[in-house]
Amino acid sequence: MKLSQIAHTRSGDKGDTANIGVIAWREEDYAILKRELTAQRVKAYFGALVQGEVERFELPNLGALNFLLHRSLGGGGTVTLRLDAQGKTYGAALLNMEIDA
């Protein structure tokens, strides 16, 4: 299934690092997020878009994971030549990822 079936996201920037918050719609699906959305798989999914490492943080109280995508914004802020300078669309892009239920 697609990640969009069990989660919603919001993404933003800090310099050249984008963050994606992934939130389970239902509390019980947080375990699936934790199992399926490893930092390695998120990095592999975005491919060349992420030049640096991907870090993952857990927020079990919110049923959410937070990912930091380092060096993913073409220099970030005002330096970047990207249309999506702040990674605003990365969260929605992640929702297309195929995961196991």
Partner 1 sequence: MIRIGNGQGFWGDWLEAPVRLVEQGPLDYLILDYLAEVTMSVLQKQKQADPTRGYASDFPPLMARLAPKLKANKIKVVANAGGVNPRGCAEAVRKLAPELKIAVVTGDDLYDGIDDLMARGHEMRDMDTGAPLATVRDRIQSANAYIGAFPLAEALATGADVVIAGRSTDTALALAPMVHEFGWGPADYSLLASGTIAGHIVECGAQCTGGNSQCDWQTIPDMANIGYPIIEAEADGTFVITKHEGTGGRVTVDTVKEQLLYELGDPKRYLTPDCTADFTSIQLASDGENRVRVHGIVGSERPPTLKLSISFSDGWKSIGTLVYSAPDALAKARAADLIVRARLANLGLHFEEIRTEYFGVNACNGPVAPPSANPPEVQLRIGVRDADRKAVDRFTRELIPLVLNGPPGATGFGDGRPAVREIVAYWSALLPREEVTTSVEVFE
In whole angstroms, how close is the CB of 38 to partner 1 at the nearest point?
17
Question: Is 93 a binder of partner 1 (CB under 8 A)?
Answer: yes
Site for partner 1 in 52-91 (CB under 8 A): 57-64, 66, 68, 74-79, 81-84, 89-91
Q: How far is CA 50 from CA 29, 40, 71, in A?
A: 26, 11, 6
Q: How far is CA 9 from CA 28, 60, 67, 78, 95, in A?
A: 17, 15, 11, 24, 8
Question: Is 6 a binder of partner 1 (CB under 8 A)?
Answer: no
Q: Residue 59 CB: number of other CB atoms within 10 A? A: 13
Site residues for partner 1 per CB under 8 A: 8-10, 12-16, 19, 21-23, 25, 45-49, 57-64, 66, 68, 74-79, 81-84, 89-93, 96
